[in-house]
Amino acid sequence: MLTRRDRVMMALMVGIPSVLFITFVWLPAIASIFLSFTNWRGITALTANNFVGLKNYEQLFTTYPFFWPAVWHNILWLLTFVFIATPIGIFIAVLLDREMRGTRVYQSAFFIPVVLSLAIVGFIWEQMYTSQGFINSVLGHTSSDTAIDFLGDPSINIWAVLVAAGWRHVGYVMVLYLAGLKSVDPTLREAASIDGANARQTFFRVVFPVMKPINIVVVVITVIESLRAFDIAYIINRGKNGLELLSILITNNSISEASLIGFGSAIAVVLLVISLVPIVIFLTRTMREETT
Amino acid sequence: MTAETASAAPVAAAVQLKHHSRFRWQRLILHVFLIGLALVWMFPILWTLYTALRPYGDTIKDGAVSFPQHLNFDNFVTAWTVGDLPRYFFNTFVIAVPAVILTLWISSMLGFIFARFSFRANLLLLMMFTAGNLLPPQVIIVPLYRMYLALPLPIPLSDHGVLYDSYFGVILIHVIFQTGFCTFVLSNYMKTISRELTEAALVDGASIWTIYRRVILPLCRPALAALAVLEFTFIYNDFFWALILMVTGGKRPITSALNNFQGSFFTDQNVLAAMSFIVAVPTIVVYLVLSKQFVRGLTLGSTKG
């Protein structure tokens, strides 16, 4: 039934985007791995002399002072999102998942931060954190000598940023979870309440287990968002002085005057390997569902 | 008999009333809690608006946390003109509109092929797109940046004859990165459309293109609308691509241009607050007006519906 013309058409419909995709996503990803074994700086042509083996990685893991802080900050980001922001989002979703006046208004209030970019979230929270900002004013720290330097002090600025980023993540989780809760069969809950289960038991023993697909989506999004973190730290101080993140180290090293392409690529490879873990988990699950 | 029912009814009513009032109390507490939490949640945005509406002089004189003496839009006007915001909004428009249209076009074609014809490669291709979509963009930025510097692009489309620092280049990378998510959502959506419909059209001798264009696309309108809203927001909010792939500050879209406003670009915090509010408003308005499409777009991908 499919004519020759149809087959050509289909090949074009799939082929052109695929070629573009491979060229601009997977080719650079593979090139990053290759470049991470070189000391290329992008000025002269790349030759065999640029090959330095594992030297970039060695330097990264041992002498480069910002690598481990960046790894720690990414982990902190992940832990805060998983153990604080995500449970709050789920909690709000459970509260909102009922016939109730004004539920849409509440939903909007919690969701609005999600429609903002993390860059603008950074600017909005600066109004809370600066020496003339809300928090310092409420605490009575009027002069800049006594004010708490939330964004400058390297021992606390990561926490200040995590509050702002978590603020946004809560709404994201809430809306995903709410959609999931709506799709749970209501008779399940009725059965649980007839059996005498209270609200908490119903949620943890009945609803939460059947929400497994959504739980996985939420976990994957949470992990990916923590690894992608970039904008807010870059806007505040270009990811320096307490706000180092792997994503920012890549750009700061390789797309700057220093132009340490090989070294930056080694950091990119570390981030790539970490990112592939949740991606592979997510894909194998989706594919398994697809085939059953 | 009558006496019995007469005495039983008030008891039942009393029990119901008691139950009902307990329920009402719980509701009231829930509402109070939710209103409180919602206000806390909105506070940073409301505070930014309040700061933006006050003259800097008042903030200095009375402190940031104080009752207003004057409220006006002067800071907004200053931010708009000093920050040259119209130019950056224009750049966003030039990038986001073609990027959204191209993304939806390409991903609807891919979704159609993936949903309707099971090539062995389908699964692999879908996997490739999704994986690319979940990858942090910084992972590929080093070689991509070099490619953008090297790949030629005719002069009318770019100022320097290469992809780097051109609207076209930024549109291209958006389309490539967003196609994965949209294809995923659209192919799931198309799977819910009856197969007989397309098969009947094939039997009638319709070409693949006709089926895609005349049968599938019109049926996907709700999903396409939802994705258009969502994709516009995603692209509006992108900070990274135009920051790295454009060198000219004046060509950057609004979110990446925020980088130009770091530090002491504006004279005072109140103007900075006004600028932040102006940049935040478009996506908030899009969400408030089209919240149904917005949430549907976001959850289509996650709940396979």
Write out pLDDT tens, residues A137-180.
888 877 777 888 888 888 899 999 999 999 999 999 999 899 88
Report yes or no: A162 and A169 within 8 Å, Cβ to Cβ.
no
- CA–CA min distance B10, chain A (Å): 25
Each residue's pLDDT tens digit, B75-107: 999 999 988 999 999 999 999 999 999 999 999
Could you give the 3-state DSSP secondary structure of residue B152? strand
If residue B187 lies in a helix (H) or strand (E), which one and from where to where?
Answer: helix B167-191
- Nearest residue in chain B measured CA to CA from A236: B262
pLDDT 10s digits, A177-208? 998 888 888 888 888 888 888 888 888 888 88
Query: Is there a contact between A271 and B177 if contact means CB atoms under 8 Å apart?
Result: no
Residue B170: what pLDDT?
Answer: 95
> The tokens 């926490």 sit on which residue?
A159
Kindly give the residue spans of alpha helices, DSSP state H, lying in B117-166: 121-134, 141-150
Among residues A282, A284, A273, A268, the alpha carbon closest in space to that of A222 is found at A282
Instruction: Give one DSSP letter per residue of chain A, joined into a string.
Output: ---HHHHHHHHHHHHHHHHHHIIIIIHHHHHHHHHTTB---SSSPP-GGGB-TTHHHHHHHHT-TTHHHHHHHHHHHHHHIIIIIHHHHHHHHHHHSSS-TTHHHHHHHHHGGGGS-HHHHHHHHHHHHSTTSHHHHHTT--STTTS--TTT-TTTHHHHHHHHHHHHHHHHHHHHHHHHHHTS-HHHHHHHHHTT--HHHIIIIIIHHHTHHHHHHHHHHHHHHHHH--HHHHHHHTT-TT---HHHHHHHHHSSSS--HHHHHHHHHHHHHHHHHHHHHHHHHHHHHHH-
pLDDT digit string, tens, across residues A89-108: 999 999 998 888 888 899 99
- pLDDT of A52 > 50? The answer is yes
Q: How does DSSP classify residue B237? A: T
Does position B4 have pLDDT exceeding 80, yes or no?
Answer: no
Is A43 part of the contact surface with chain B (CB cutoff 8 Å)? no
Enumerate the β-bridge partners of residue A51: A38
Whole-angstrom distance, CA of residue B14 vs CA of residue B27: 20
Residue B247 inside a domain? The answer is: yes
Chain B hits for A230, CB-CB cut-off 8 Å, are 136, 138, 239-240
| Residue scoring higher pLDDT (A122 or B118) | A122
**A-B interface: how many C-beta pairs under 8 angstroms?**
270
How close A33 gets to chain B, by Cα (Å)? 10
Rounded to whole angstroms, how far apart are CA atoms B279 and B45? 12
Helices and strands (H and E) in chain B: how many: 15, 0
pLDDT of res. A10: 85
Contacts of B299 in chain A (CB under 8 A): 175-176, 179
Does the pLDDT value for residue A1 go beyond 80?
Answer: no
What is chain A's length?
292
Q: Is A138 on the interface with B (CB under 8 A)?
A: yes
Q: Would the pLDDT of B185 be above 70? A: yes
The shortest CB-CB distance from B141 to any of A42, A255, A286 is to: A255
Instruction: Dig out the tokens for B108 from the structure.
Output: 């609807």
B229 in any annotated domain: yes
By C-alpha distance, the chain B residue nearest A215 is B302
pLDDT score recorded for residue B180: 84
Residues B21 and B96 both lie in one domain: no
Query: Does A69 or B264 have the greater pLDDT score?
Result: A69
Residues 6+ apart with CB under 8 A from B5: none
For chain B, how many residues are written?
Answer: 305
A150 at B interface, C-beta within 8 A: no
The 8-class DSSP code of residue B259 comes to G
Percent of chain A with pLDDT over 70: 98
Indicate the residue type of A99: E
Summarize pLDDT for A116-138 with one digit per residue, the tens.
Answer: 999 999 999 999 998 888 898 88
Q: What is the mean pLDDT of chain B?
A: 85
How far lies A41's CA from each of A28, A248, A269, in Å? 16, 18, 17
Supply the CATH number for residue B140's domain.
1.10.3720.10
In this complex, the residue of B30, B129, B141 whose CB is nearest that of residue A250 is B141
Show residues of chain B in contact with A134, CB under 8 Å. Answer: 47, 64-65
How large is the ipTM?
0.90
Q: Clarify whether residues B20 and B89 are in a common domain.
A: no
Provide the residue ranges of all domains of chain A, joining segments of one domain with +: 70-218
Given an 8 Å threshold on Cβ–Cβ distance, is B41 in contact with A109? yes
A91 touches chain B (CB under 8 A): no
Residues B95 and B241 in one domain: yes
B35 lies in a domain? yes
Q: Which residue of A has its CA nearest to B298?
A: A176
Q: Domain A70-218 classified CATH 1.10.3720.10?
A: yes
Of B47, B62, B77, which residue sits at a domain end? B62
Cα–Cα distance for residue pair A137/A140, rounded to 1 Å: 5
Tally of domains in chain B: 2
Residue span of the structural domain in which B205 resides: 85-261
Helix axes A261-291, A55-62, angle to 10 degrees: 90
**Bridge partners of residue A38, in order along the sequence:** A51
How far is B267 from B283, CA to CA, in rounded Å? 26
Using one digit for the tens of pLDDT, what is the confidence trace for B210-227?
888 988 999 999 899 989
Integer Cα distance of A90 and A235 in angstroms: 29
**B59:A18 CB<8 A:** no
Contacts of A224 in chain B (CB under 8 A): 134, 136
At B201, is the pLDDT very low, low, confident or very high (cuts 50, 70, 90)?
A: confident
What tokens appear for B243 in the block? 């920051």
Q: Give the model's pLDDT for residue B302.
A: 59
How much is the pLDDT for B2? Answer: 44
Q: Cβ neighbours of residue A198 under 8 Å, at least 6 residues apart?
A: none
- Residues A242-275, buried b or exposed e (16+ Cβ, 10 A)? bbbbbbbbbbbbbbeeebbbbbbbbbbbbbbebb
As a whole-number percent, the residues of chain B with pLDDT over 90 amount to: 41
**B168 contact partners, CB below 8 Å, separation of at least 6:** B153, B157, B158
- Confidence check: pLDDT of A237 > 60: yes
Residue B274 lies in a domain: no
pLDDT by residue (tens digit) across B35-45? 999 999 999 99
Which comes out higher in pLDDT, residue B201 or B171? B171
With an 8 Å Cβ cutoff, are B37 and A9 in contact? no
Specify the pLDDT at position B92. Answer: 95
| Top-confidence residue, B274 or B59 | B274
Q: Chain A closest CA to B18's CA: distance in Å?
A: 19
Give residue B305's pLDDT. 34
**Torsion angle in degrees (nearest 10) through CA of B225, B231, B233, B237:** -170
Question: Of A40-54, A269-283, B204-218, which gets the smallest average pLDDT?
Answer: A40-54
3 state SS of B257:
helix
Structural domain includes residue B210? yes
Domain boundary residue, one of B246, B261, B276:
B261
Round to the nearest angstrom and report the end-to-end CA distance of chain A. Answer: 28
Say which residue, B32 or B204, is predicted with more confidence.
Answer: B32
User: Is residue B3 predicted with pLDDT exceeding 70?
Assistant: no
Q: What is the mean pLDDT of residues B249-278?
A: 87
pLDDT at A188: 85
Average pLDDT across chain A, whole number: 88
Residue B10 banded pLDDT, cuts 50, 70, 90: low
Chain B residues close to A161, C-beta within 8 Å: none
Question: Rounded to an integer, what distance in angstroms lies between the CA atom of residue B100 and that of residue B115?
Answer: 21
Q: Is B258 exposed, middle or buried (0-12, 13-18, 19+ CB in 10 A)?
A: buried
Rounded to an integer, what distance in angstroms lies between the CA atom of residue B240 and that of residue B256?
7
Task: Calculate the alpha carbon distances from B197 to A7, A228, B193 in Å.
Answer: 20, 41, 8
Tell me whether residues A32 and B142 touch, CB distance under 8 A.
yes
The answer to which of A23-32, B94-103, B156-165 has the lowest mean pLDDT is: B156-165
Residues B108 and B18 in one domain: no
The whole-number average pLDDT for the span A240-253 is: 92
Mean pLDDT of B148-175: 88
- Note whether B251 and B128 are same-domain residues: yes
Of B31, B62, B93, the residue at which a domain comes to its end is B62
| pLDDT over 70 percentage in chain B | 89
Neighbouring residues of A107: CB distance < 8 A, sequence distance ≥ 6? A96, A174, A175, A178
Q: Which residues of B touch A144 (CB under 8 A)?
A: none
Q: How many Å apart are CA A171 and CA A162, to the nearest integer? A: 15
> Do B110 and B212 share a structural domain?
yes
Q: What is the pLDDT of residue B15?
A: 55
Does a structural domain hold residue B290?
Answer: no
Are B182 and B246 part of one and the same domain? yes
Inter-chain touch A21–B130, beta carbons under 8 Å: no
Q: Give the pLDDT score at B304.
A: 43
Locus of tokens 């990916």 = A224
The least confident of A13-17, B32-36, B131-135 is B131-135
Task: Say if residue A40's pLDDT is above 50.
Answer: yes
pLDDT given for residue A138 in this prediction = 86
Tell me if B302 is assigned to some domain. no
